[in-house]
Amino acid sequence: MKIVGLAIVILLISTMIRMDLVEGTISLANFEESSQCEESHSPVDYVVVKVEEEDSIESLLGIYSDSQLSFPEKVQAFYVLNPVYKKQEILPGELVKIPVTSLIPTTCTK
């Protein structure tokens, strides 16, 4: 009987510790730095392009994308418009969206 009682107490304590570690007793919001970020949610302009043989994301961004954007901004905008290509390659015949203007500008102040 002592073994069963001890097993229940150990199970109860381990459950309480697990819940405390997962959910936490102190809110994490208290430890984050407060910063005010303003995002303007303007629509992203894009062109739809049919992928040809030997095309890559880099070649499509170089040909069709806006020259005012830096290459990392172009790649980020491409993956926002086409999230499926984060995990798979582009194939000939598919239609992809190529960004032609900058994405959402963000201004943060502390």
The string of pLDDT tens digits covering residues 18-43 is 887 777 665 554 555 555 655 544 44
Whose tokens are 């959910």? That residue is 23
Q: Give 75 or 30, the one with higher predicted confidence.
A: 75
The residues, ordered by sequence, that sit 6+ positions from 44 with a Cβ below 8 Å of its Cβ are 77, 80, 81, 99, 101, 103, 104
The mean pLDDT of 77-89, rounded to a whole number, is: 88
pLDDT more than 90, % of the chain: 20
pLDDT at 37: 59
CA distance 85 to 32: 32
pLDDT at 24: 66
Q: Where are the domains of the chain?
A: 44-103
CATH 3.10.350.10 corresponds to the domain 44-103: yes
Let me know: does 22 contact 59? Beta carbons within 8 Å. Answer: no
User: Does pTM surpass 0.85?
Assistant: no
Let me know: does 55 contact 92? Beta carbons within 8 Å. Answer: yes
